[in-house]
Amino acid sequence: MKTIYKVLIGLGIVVLAVVFLSNQKVEKTLGSVQDGQGYFSTTTVSLAAGTKAQLKTTGGMLGSLIIASTTAGLNNFILKDATSTTDISSTTLAVFGATPTVGTYTFDVVFTRGLVIEATGAISGSITTTYK
């Protein structure tokens, strides 16, 4: 008789454990960026006047431009939707004049060909461009 009680108690514990474990709710992961959806970034410290730099060679999205520091040498520059630095049919995405204010400029603009920064004046400062 004691053996039957032990078996029934053991079986009851197993049943309760299965019921308890099957009713557990899985919490969703909290976060603002899904895997593979984050931005890439590149920092430009200096470019001579009249030079261009290819930041991305295919289409994507321009997230933001962060001007972390400026010097007297930070002058006009342009962000373009272009396949290369020699692309003459590029589209202008943004234009920054002489000595822009330190800060974050958010765009979230789609570009279809590539991303190029062109220094129309010399760039000397810290500019970070985010894109995906």
Whether 96 is in a domain gets the answer yes
Whether 75 is in a domain gets the answer yes
Whether 88 is in a domain gets the answer yes
CATH, residue 64 = 2.60.120
Spatial contact of 121 and 76, defined as CB atoms under 8 Å apart: yes
Whether 1 is in a domain gets the answer no
pLDDT at residue 93, as a whole number: 93
Q: What would the two tokens of residue 126 be? A: 């810290």
Confidence of residue 30 (pLDDT cuts 50, 70, 90): low
Closest by alpha carbon to 94, among 55, 114, 52, 64? Answer: 64
Whether 108 is in a domain gets the answer yes
Whether 15 is in a domain gets the answer no
Q: pLDDT (tens digit, 9 = 90+) per residue, 90-129?
A: 899 999 888 788 899 999 999 999 999 988 887 777 888 9
Domain enclosing residue 127, as ranges: 41-131
Whether 70 is in a domain gets the answer yes
- Residue 49 DSSP one-character state: T
Rounded CA-CA distance 128/112 in Å is 20
Whether 94 is in a domain gets the answer yes
Q: pLDDT (tens digit, 9 = 90+) per residue, 36-84?
A: 678 888 887 788 888 898 999 999 999 999 988 877 666 788 999 999 8
Spatial contact of 56 and 114, defined as CB atoms under 8 Å apart: yes
Helix count (H) and strand count (E) of the chain?
Answer: 1, 8
Number of domains present in the structure of the chain:
1
